[in-house]
Amino acid sequence: ISWTGGSINLEEAGEAWRDPMSEIWPEDRSRNKKVELAPAGISQPRVSGVSGVSGDFQGKPRVCIPVFPGTNGEDDAFRAFSRTGAKALEHVFLDRKPEELDEALAAFARSIDESQILYISGGFSAGDEPDGAGKYIAAVLRQSRVADAVAGLLERDGLVLGICNGFQALIKSGWLVNGQSGIPGENHPALTHNRIGRHVARIVRTVATGADSPWLTQINRGDIHCMPVSHGEGRFTAAPEVLKSLAAAGRIAFQYCDSDGVPGMGGDVNPNGSDMAVEGLLSPCGRILGKMGHSERWRKGTLIDIPGMENEQPLISGGVGWFL
C-alpha cells in the first residue's frame, strides 16, 4: 500500500497484525498448503455417449425428492430440478408411528421405482441422531426394499444425487463408495466433524476435477463455481491409500479451491478441513454423486454482491439433460 510520503508491504502488515496474538493462537501454516488438482482418472469411460439412457424412456425425467424428518433442502431442490426441465416430486416419508414405518418404506421404494433420478436433500435428518449426521437416511437406504429400488434405478440408467446431509447418507449407506448398499468398513471414507469443531456457513469456491459422469456433462475440468455451504460434519477424510485410489479412478468430482482454481487446505479455502480438499465424490459407476456445497440453492438475483455467484453451477441441469 502506497500513500504520499510512505508505503508498506502487505505481507509485513499482516505479520504485524497477527504477531501480538501469535502465542495465544499460533497459526498452523501447514493447513494453508496447496494440494494437487485431482487427476482426470481412468481412460476408459464408466458411462458412454451423450445420453446413456436405456429402454423406451421419453419425456421429462421424474425426480424423487424424499422429505425425511429434519431435512430442509427439498423446496430448493424442487425449484432447481423443475427449472431445468424435470418433473420433480416431493415424497414425504411418513414415520410418525412405528406402525407407519413399514408402509413408509414400501411407498418410498415405489416412488424410486417410478423415477429416473433420486435426490437426497440436505438438513439435519432426525436431528443428526443417533450420534452422527445422515445415519437415519442411511438406515433407510440400506433397508432391503429401498436398497432393491435404488439398485433397480441404477440398472435402468438412473441417477442419484446427495447434497450435504444427502452426501453423508450416501457415504454411510455404502452406495457412494462401493456402488451398493452396505455397512461402512474399517477403511471406509467418512464425513466427520469440521476441523474447527463447529458449524460453518459461508460461500466457497470449488473446482471441477472429475469428468466421467452424467452429472458433469455440462461442466468442464477446471471450471470454478461459487456456492453456499452450511454444515457441522462436512470434513471428508480417508486413509492416504484410499484417497490415492479415489483420485486415480477419477472419482473426486470437486475440490475446494481459491479464486485461481488451486485446491488448498487453508480455512479460507477449505472451511471444514477436508482431506485433499475433497468437496464432491463419484460412485464407481459415475451415476451417484455426493457433495457438500449446495448447488441447488442458487437462484437468479440472490447474493449478487459476491463475485462468482452470478453463475449457476450446471450440475442439476446436466443430470436432467442426460435424459432429454
Residues annotated as catalytic (active site), given as ranges:
164, 294, 296
Q: How many helices (H) and strands (E) does the chain have?
A: 9, 13
Q: Please name the amino acid found at residue 158.
A: G
Q: Count of alpha carbons within 13 Å of 311, Cβ hemisphere only?
A: 11
Q: What is the DSSP string of 205-230?
A: EEEE----SGGGTT--TT-EEEEEEE
User: Which residue from 71, 86, 122, 111 is spatially nearest to 227, judged by alpha carbons?
Assistant: 122
**Residue 163 grid cell:** 447434497
Angle between helices 144-155 and 98-113 in degrees, nearest 10: 10
**Residue 290 grid cell:** 455426493
252, 280 contact by CB (below 8 A): yes
**Residue 153 grid cell:** 434405478
User: Which residue from 280, 269, 272, 195 is spatially nearest to 33, judged by alpha carbons?
Assistant: 269
Provide φ and ψ at 82, rounded to 5°.
-65, -40
Q: Please name the amino acid found at residue 65.
A: I
**Residue 223 grid cell:** 471450471
User: Which residue from 163, 113, 188 is spatially nearest to 293, judged by alpha carbons?
Assistant: 163
Q: Count of alpha carbons within 13 Å of 276, Cβ hemisphere only?
A: 26
Cα angle 201, 205, 210; round to 5: 120
274, 235 contact by CB (below 8 A): yes
